[in-house]
Amino acid sequence: MDKRKLKLCGKLIACCVAFILVLSTGLASKAAIFFMTSSMGQVLKELYPGGRHRYAREKDLIQHVERFACWMWSLLFSIAVPELFSFLHSLHIFLSRRDCWTRPRLVDFTIVFLFETAQVVGMPCYLVSFCRAFRWYMAF
Taking every pair of Cα atoms in the chain, the longest distance, rounded to a whole number of angstroms, is: 77
3-47 vs 106-139: helix axis angle to the nearest 10? 30
Q: Tell me: the pLDDT tens digits for 97-140?
A: 766 667 788 999 899 999 988 888 887 777 777 666 666 555 54
Q: Which of 30, 37, 35 is nearest to 134 (CA)?
A: 37
pLDDT at 47: 56
Domain ranges of the chain: 3-139
Confidence of residue 61 (pLDDT cuts 50, 70, 90): low
* More reliable by pLDDT, 71 or 110: 110
Digit-coded pLDDT (tens) for 11-32: 999 999 999 999 998 888 888 8
Q: pTM value?
A: 0.51
Residue among 72, 33, 70, 68 nearest 47 (CA): 68
Question: What number of CA atoms fall less than 13 Å from residue 84's CA on the CB side?
Answer: 6
CA distance 78 to 117: 19
